[in-house]
Amino acid sequence: MRMRNDNTSSRAGYAWPARFGLGAAKAVIGTLAGLGATWLGLLIAATGSGFDASAADQLRRGAGGVFTAFGAGLGAPVDWRFAGTGWTGRIWPVELLGQASPLLWVLLGPAAALLVTAFLARWRGCGLAGVLGIGLGYVVTVGGGLLLVDTLNTTGGPALLTLSTPWLVAAGFTGAWVLVIAVLGKLCAIAVTRIPQAGPRHRFAVLAMVIALVASTTVAAGGRPAMGGYPSATAAAIDRLRQESGSDFLLAMDTQLDVPSLIGVNSSLRSGTGGWLTDHAALFGLPDPARQLRQVQEDTDRLGQKHIRYQQTVDGVPVHNAVVIMHLNTGGESVRAISSSARPDLTPVSTTPDVGADKALAVARKALPQGKLIAPIQLFVRGERPAKDRKTDTRLVWRVWLSDPSSNTSNDYYVDAHNGHLRWSDNKFETGRDIKVLDDQHQGTDSEEAPNPETVWAGGHHVGPNDVLDADKAYDWTGATYTYYRDKFGRDGIDGKGMTILSHVRHAVDWVNAGWGGDAMYFGDNMVTPDVTGHELTHGVIQYTANLDYLGSPGALNESYADIFGKMVQRHATGKVVTTDWTIGAGSAAGVIRNMADPNNGNDGNDETKFWQPDHMDEYVYTCMDNGGVHYNSGIANRAYVIMAQAIGEDRAEQIAFRALTTYLVPTSAFFSAAQATVLAARDLYGQNTPETLAAQQSWQQVGVLGREHEYVFLLCICFIPIIISDTDMDQFPDIDVPADDILAGAGHVRDLMQRNASPALTHYGRVIMDTGKDIMDIFNKDRALRDQFIRTMTTLSPALVSVLTDEGDTVVVTKQMVDQSNALFDAMVAYGTENERPDVVKTVTEERADVTPALIGKTANQAMDELDKHTR
């Protein structure tokens, strides 16, 4: 008996460290099983498509990525970043569950670790020593493994990131896992107790699993802070290309995304075009160009250089205005340049629509009831405007392009394909051989298009019964524009494929303007001149080439190139060698509206009786009106072109400008990209160290674009309609039964009216928004109560806003509630401005409030607008 007691005591003393070591070994095995299952989960996830599938494919390629995914599967949000691409993201099962993300397969890791550890804990028992061994084993293998992989991962592979959540939040997620595991453990314990040998030690197995998972999550949370996003990797990729390219290197950065918008290089194409894109993925901030960039076009230009165009996609759905163009040298052995408007900042979004195209069309028609469909309704992925250092809210949307010539309105409406609400509205109304000229004959009013416009010219033959001077001019100058593009650049019409050119003359009553509506030109009385015709048709050429956004800086470039080639068309048609008159509109009913050589027009911008534009970046106009100042800031680029043309001659200048526009620019190109594109085009055509290239560079330097840093300011404006009202805002007002779409439709309608100066009052309000819109938006963004009051006021006003200056405006009546709520909002804004020392806002709002009087009550919306017109200062 004594001997057995001694042996028992001896075995007990020996068993404690043995069980501790055995527990640690079980933790190592459990971790390895978990990592293996995590890798398998990533492999399965990578067979999908989209952002998360790309992330899974990259994560599985290195130990750091697998460790990161294993930690993420434990429940807390884990941020990760790849050193090779600089791409960042977050794996958080709670969030991924709501998105049905393929990355949910990473949960295989913790599940495998749980089951293997539970099984091993039953084998040869655990005891308290075994529990501690398992816990410490997980701490060492998971925590130590993370740190070791992170330390050794200095080149190329996936770089580990740690939890971004605070300790308290991480503890909360850990606690949630404890509850889940405890429940699972209880179920396991029930099963275990049916085994004859089951006993208390099996309860220790459950406790061991809990401690192991808690320990591993805690260690993961205790690492170093999360790294930054892709910009650092992009900077490294740019530096490598700079060294490789030498004197050929040239760069224009997108300052909001911190990626190149245009980069001139001389880089070998040893691995083919696809291989080059993958090797330089960090240049675009995209994790997997092979998946995300789809080749859509390949052209060889007149110099023999090849240009390959790619469309960024998500699960096969194109990303709005996101393209990459690879420019190769004549032999195709090297990359000469990359143009890019890729969006690396988008967040994952489901690409399966819940709302059909018919519903989207119905929503868009709320904003433009008489609009005709210009192009097939198309599905896009679109993000908000990019902002530094953050991911962008991203939506799946239907694009519905509607045009209503009777109101001179052409807009792209983007309807959320998941919730069916209007999300964005982009203005598309930009004020071949087979030419048609239609006479609208002034039938109707300025808000009604002629129902049966008469064909005056078609296919080169006069077919109208009467001689219509504007129609004759339109035919002549449209033909001259076609001839110019054919003779100078070998281009067959607007789209390069002989597209029919359609013009409407005598369009609407008292409309002293001209415009491109996306599929046709429209001219008011006596507005058909060679430069105006060339200007409007060039908008069509831009639509089919660079497709520059008609907003902000890209919109100003859109207007500038239209001015440039409008003037060059006039020069070509009249046979002039040198342009001495750089004004736009001379001889038209509108008179001179711009001076490309002197955008300031001897004016400081304060004399409203004289036109004025900035001629230098120091004078750049930031405004909510005029689509972000497109007709103002075009003066800067116009002046740069005149400087270049006067230095090297217009024949060479126009060739450089056309190549820059059609070869190197993309939808989001800003002034700096246009400047560098001009330099690249000059190099292509005339050589690197030539007077032409030097003139191209110096012209943009003289207007302040090259040779200095610029940070463009993007305004979120009430007149743009990424407005400050969203469907989620409306969810906070259960007492309001007016859909957000109706409110946005009203705001969009008024925006369109202000853009075309439809009445003196609206023109005045447009100027007010231009001067103080940024301050007003700032107030609404800072004061939630005022923002909510604004939303309620817009809700009340929406019937009047959506109907004003339409036929329905003769029946919709201004109510006392509309006037009272408007004045209450004005008073609240004045109070805010007074309290926060915003005297400009106080002055402006006080002046505008004076016009909203009880005299408007009972009048129709159109009568109320007439009344406001009388009071316009």
Q: Render 113-182 in DSSP notation, one character per residue.
A: HHHHHHHHHHTT--HHHHHHHHHHHHIIIIIIHHHHHHHH--SSSEEP--B-S-HHHHHHHHHHHHHHHH
Q: How many CB atoms lie within 10 A of CB 476?
A: 17
pLDDT of 606: 72
Question: In this structure, what token pair is assigned to residue 313?
Answer: 């996609």
- At residue 249, the pLDDT reads 95
Contact 60, 43 (CB under 8 A): yes
* Residue of 430, 454, 536, 654 marked catalytic: 536
pLDDT digits (tens, 9 = 90+) for 469-511: 556 676 777 888 889 999 999 999 888 888 777 666 655 545 5
In the structure encoding, which two tokens stand for residue 85, read together? 């691409």
Confidence at residue 806, expressed as pLDDT on a 0 to 100 scale: 85
Measured between alpha carbons, how far is 113 from 127 in angstroms, rounded to an integer? 19
Domains in the chain: boundaries: 14-221, 231-340, 357-427, 435-658+665-672, 727-871
CA dihedral sign of residues 47, 50, 56, 59? positive
pLDDT at 660: 98
- pLDDT value at position 685? 97
Flag residues of the chain having pLDDT under 50: 1-5, 8-11, 82-86, 154-229, 432-467, 509, 512, 716, 718-724, 727
Domain 231-340 top-level CATH class:
alpha beta
Instruction: Show the tokens assigned to 740.
Output: 């957000």
- Interatomic CA distance for residues 306 and 311, integer angstroms: 17
pTM of the predicted model as reported, rounded to 2 decimal places: 0.70
Instruction: Match 């989620």 to its residue by tokens.
Output: 728
pLDDT in tens, 172-219: 443 444 344 444 444 444 433 443 444 444 444 444 444 444 444 433
CA dist., res. 375 & res. 640, Å (int): 35
Q: Residue 581's pLDDT is what? A: 92
Q: Please say if 536 is a catalytic residue.
A: yes
Which residue among 572, 631, 749, 764 is the active-site one? 631
Q: What is the rounded CA–CA span in Å between residue 232 and residue 9?
A: 62
DSSP per position, 500-520: PEEEEES-SSS---EEE-SS-
CATH topology of domain 357-427: Nuclear Transport Factor 2; Chain: A, (3.10.450)
CATH, range 435-658+665-672: 3.10.170.10
**Direct distance between the N- and C-terminal alpha carbons of the chain, in angstroms, rounded to an integer:** 114
| Strands of 480-635, DSSP E | 501-505, 514-516, 521-523, 583-584, 594-595
Measured CA to CA, the distance from residue 770 to residue 360 in angstroms comes to 31
